[in-house]
Amino acid sequence: MRKIALFVFVFTSFQFQLLAQYLSETTWVEEEKTACVTIGILQGGGALVGADFEFLISNRVGFQAGIGYIAFGAAINYHLKPTIRSSFISFNYWNQGIGPSFAQNLVGASFVFRGKRWFTAQIGLGVPLEKGPAMPDDYEQSPIMLTYSIGAYIPF
């Protein structure tokens, strides 16, 4: 009786190990995501609250466009790893304000950190192109500006 019980135990264990290997190789393969939406503070062209949409055009290069509360922007991104979840260097255009609320627009470059799950933060430098009617007349614009943002990203 002991030999039969031992045989059944060993046989069952062997079957579970084979099943586990089969499932890990076939059913848990996740398709790589190639686009994402980022929502946060100073996203979407430097808007107070905004969102950016990015999609990969190659395994490391992405195009990004965004809009927010009275701002919009666009960027070309170079990812440090071949995935949408990786940090990247971004070459940006920001337009802050529209019509009579136009304050300024600028171009620049920034480093964007992306966490493994959802967190993102950006810091960089930009050069102002023009000053708009919403900017006070006595305001002296600096030749280089610090750019930054913080938010959450959702890949899909």
pLDDT digits (tens, 9 = 90+) for 45-61: 999 999 999 999 999 99
Indicate whether 48 and 125 sit together in one domain: yes
Task: Give the per-residue pLDDT at 3.
Answer: 74
Of 91, 98, 96, which is closest to residue 64 (Cα–Cα)?
91
Indicate whether 22 and 61 sit together in one domain: no
Indicate whether 100 and 26 sit together in one domain: no
Mean pLDDT to the nearest integer, 11-38: 71
Rounded Cα–Cα distance for residues 115 and 78 (Å): 16
Residue 20, pLDDT > 70, answer no
Indicate whether 151 and 123 sit together in one domain: yes
Task: Give the per-residue pLDDT at 92.
Answer: 97
Indicate whether 82 and 131 sit together in one domain: yes
Indicate whether 20 and 93 sit together in one domain: no
Indicate whether 59 and 95 sit together in one domain: yes
Indicate whether 91 and 63 sit together in one domain: yes
Residue 86, pLDDT > 80, answer yes
Residue 150, pLDDT > 80, answer yes
Indicate whether 120 and 50 sit together in one domain: yes
Q: The pTM is what?
A: 0.77
**Per-residue tokens: 23:** 């499932």
Q: How many domains does the chain have?
A: 2
Mean pLDDT to the nearest integer, 115-130: 97
Indicate whether 22 and 75 sit together in one domain: no
Indicate whether 76 and 140 sit together in one domain: yes
Task: Give the per-residue pLDDT at 5.
Answer: 65
Indicate whether 21 and 73 sit together in one domain: no
Residues in the chain: 156
Q: Backbone dihedral region of 47: left (phi > 0), alpha (psi from -120 to 50 degrees) or beta? A: beta
Rounded Cα–Cα distance for residues 59 and 48 (Å): 31
Residue 3, domain extent? 1-30
| pLDDT confidence bin for 132, thresholds 50/70/90 | very high
| pLDDT confidence bin for 90, thresholds 50/70/90 | very high
| pLDDT confidence bin for 31, thresholds 50/70/90 | confident
